[in-house]
Structures are given as structure tokens and as C-alpha cells.
Structure 1
Amino acid sequence: MSSVPLEIRVDDLSGGATRELIEFHLAGMHDGSPTESIHALDLDGLRAPGMTVWSAWSGERIAGIGALKRFGGADGSEDRGELKSMRVADDFRGTGVGRAILRHIVAEAQACGTRSLWLETGAGESFVPAHRLYASEGFVDCGPFADYRPDPLSIFMTREL
């Protein structure tokens, strides 16, 4: 899976390294996308009910983060989940950290009864690696879901579990 040894753990977002990576992620989104096309969550959004955040660590260094937001289907059950805030620290790009975090979140979602996962990612050139990663892990393109609206700068994907 990952070419670097990792420990993936639930993160309470209180640590400086995690907070810095989230801020870096948000700054990158704002640098490359208009505000109306940015769906990344800040710290408050990542602390919302139904949200779980994981961080991946290689020794004392944060390697990446990812989150799962549980939400309900039309029948009122909370059996759907949305991947949020997937970000690999620049020093760890291309080492398999993103895939490791994604697989961890998929396994955790399955364990808690989630039946499908959904995500929104950017449509620009810088998002091609993310789109390829998700597709290689069984995600397929779909239309907007939940409160999202069509956006030429967004790609929406889903996967049954």
C-alpha cells in the first residue's frame, strides 16, 4: 500500500501539524479556484457532528489527512458518507499515503454500516492525480449529490460499498 510506514489515527484537530496541513490545503484551494467552487472544510467544518477526521503519520511527521462525513439517504438512514479534506503533505506525495488514507476511510465506513461513499474534487489539471486515485479505487463519476450544484470546476464521484 504505502511505501512509507504509517500510523493512521482519528485526529481531534488540536495538534499544530494537523492544523497547519488543513490551513495549507485551504490556502491551495483558494489560490486555484473561485470561492463559489471551493468545498473544502475549515476546522469548524471538520468538527461538525457526523464528521470523523484521520491523520496519517510517518514517525513524528504528518503525512496526510482525510475525513468522512456521514449523511442520510432519502429513507432517513445515515448509510451514506462523503470523503472530505483528503490532502497529502507535499513531502509525501507519490509515496502511497493518499491511497493508504483512502483505503483506511473506506474500511472504517464499511465497518460502521456505510453503504455508499461520495466525493467532490476539482476538475482542473492539478486534480488529475486525485481523480485517478479515486477511479483506481472503484469510484465512478456521477452528478452532484447532497447540497452540491453543477459546477464546471467540480467532479463528483461515488462508490458502493
Structure 2
Amino acid sequence: MFDIIEDDLSGEDTRQLLALHLAGMHADSPPGSVFALDLSGLQVPEVTVWTARRNGRVASVGALKMLQNGGAEVKSMRTHPDFLRQGAAACLLDVIIAEAKRRDVKRLSLETGSGPAFEPALALYRRHGFRNGPPFASYDQTAFNQFLHLAII
């Protein structure tokens, strides 16, 4: 259905989807509440980025960031508007979870916002077993953000 590839972020289509992601995060979040990584933040050794593609077109992007404590974080999940609700993000999240298991991660976490714009992503994460929990890494709890965790066995 989708081809999942590790992405080096050099392609214009991936960069455009990441720019759309950042713009969406800023549009749907209060000032100071966006923790999405920009391109330079995704190009560090502890982050691996994948894209889901169909017929050569980028459908979705997502990343795995390794944390200092042996945990990991899901970052930069975004689906292109042309591919919404076609399973691209679910395929990509399956790959991210599998890679976390391969790397012996015990807990996979993510930080996201609240409100209608975030509900489809929250539903996806919950279908994959993520549950709400406490802040992690250097995040602070606010009235807007929430934290989800998946125990990996």
C-alpha cells in the first residue's frame, strides 16, 4: 500500500511536508507551545526520519528521536492532505514502533496538543496502544499539551 523509506530530508517534497507540519502546529497551538522540530532539529544523529510514499509521492512523515534515558520519542508525524485517512500514518507508526523495539526501547513517548486539530492523531496513537501519562524529557505540563506513552515489551 505504502513504501516506507528512511528519509535523508534532502527531497523537496519531504521538506514541504515538514514546513506544512510546522505551520500547522503554530496555527493550532498557543504561542510558546510548539515543540515540533525544524529541519535542523531532525538532522541530528539521535533522530531517524521516515516517509511513507505511494507512487513516488510523499504521503506521510514521522521520526524517532532517541532520548538520554534509553527511551524514545515520536516526532514530526504529519500526513499530506492528499493522503488523509488512507493509512499512511498508521503504516509509518508501525515502522517507528518496530524500530523502537529493535533498538530495545522500553518506552516510546510523544508530546502533542489538545483540541480538534489534534484529535485524529490522538485517535491514531491510542489505537496503537499509547496512553496518557506524565511529562517526560524536558517537557513541562501545561493546560494545552499532553503526553502519551507506549510500553514496549
> For 1:34 and 1:143, how far apart are their aligned partners in 2?
20
Match of 2:100 in 1: 109
Is structure 2 residue 54 aligned with structure 1 residue 58?
yes
- Aligned pairs (5 A) from 1:15-54: 15-54=11-50
> For 1:48 and 1:11, how far apart are their aligned partners in 2?
13
Cα displacement (A) at 1:157: 0.5
Question: Partner amino acid for 1:155?
Answer: Q
Cα displacement (A) at 1:143: 1.3
Runs of 4+ more than 3 Å apart: none
SS at match of 2:32: helix
- Aligned CA-pair RMSD: 0.9
Structure 1 unaligned segments of length 5 or more: list them.
74-78
For the 8 Å contact 2:71–2:108, the answer to whether it is kept is yes
Structure 1 length-normalised TM: 0.91
Match of 1:76 in 2: none
> For 2:36 and 2:84, how far apart are their aligned partners in 1?
19
**Identity over aligned pairs, percent:** 43
Match of 2:145 in 1: 154
The one of 104, 113, 118 aligned to 2:109: 118
Structure 2 length-normalised TM: 0.96
> For 2:6 and 2:31, how far apart are their aligned partners in 1?
29
Structure 2 unaligned segments of length 5 or more: list them.
none
